[in-house]
Amino acid sequence: MADTIGAQLEHLLGNVSTLVVETPLGPVTLWCDAEGDWHSTRVPTEDDADTLPTHTTAYGINAGIDPYDPDSLEDVLAVVWADGDSRALADVAAERRTHDGRGWTRAHDDEHGANHLVELAWRYAYRVHATRPGSYDREGLVKAAALLVAAIDTLDRAEATRG
């Protein structure tokens, strides 16, 4: 099975931007955002290890992986292992992927600025609470968290450009 997954991932690197890898504990989704950075929906556990090809290096999100370089296969797998470890983080990452798919890329976020993203996040987080005090909508909180992550990324990129 590892050979099959390795072949699928090699195909991914050159031809597609999303791949779902079936593991004993459920699917792991790998995707490449508009800037060419690889992400995953969850970190595989020890039980998943036998179904994934061997890798030796650990990288986090935005590791500068070249999606068109077949030698980056181990790097993509390392992102799967390094990219978050909870359902909430996986859901926020998936929501960010949804934003990228709609064209709300880093450039789009930078154009609108962190303040705009924080305002939108507040609206999502507060939406249900305003109508039912004491309760929150999980989906709204996931959307809010994804927008806050985008705002933080925007601030980080602005800081990096200022030097």
Are residue 130 and residue 153 in the same domain, yes or no?
Answer: yes
| Structure tokens that stand for 12 in this block | 């991914």
- Closest listed residue to residue 39, CA positions, set 76, 86, 1: 76
Confidence (pLDDT) at 50: 52
Confidence (pLDDT) at 81: 44
Are residue 95 and residue 155 in the same domain, yes or no?
Answer: yes
Q: Which of 82, 98, 126 is the last residue of a domain?
A: 82
Name the domain count of the chain.
2
What is the C-alpha separation between 150 and 154, in angstroms, rounded?
6
Q: Which residue has the tokens 């077949």?
A: 70
Question: Which residues, in sequence order, are CB contacts of 156 under 8 Å at separation 6+?
Answer: none
Are residue 58 and residue 91 in the same domain, yes or no?
Answer: no
Are residue 55 and residue 102 in the same domain, yes or no?
Answer: no
DSSP for residue 10: H
Are residue 26 and residue 51 in the same domain, yes or no?
Answer: yes
Confidence (pLDDT) at 23: 59
| Domain of residue 76, residue span | 2-82
Are residue 24 and residue 46 in the same domain, yes or no?
Answer: yes
Instruction: For the chain, list residues with pLDDT below 50.
Output: 1-2, 12, 16, 52-84
Residue 141's φ and ψ, nearest 5 degrees, are: -70, -35
Confidence (pLDDT) at 40: 67
Are residue 76 and residue 101 in the same domain, yes or no?
Answer: no
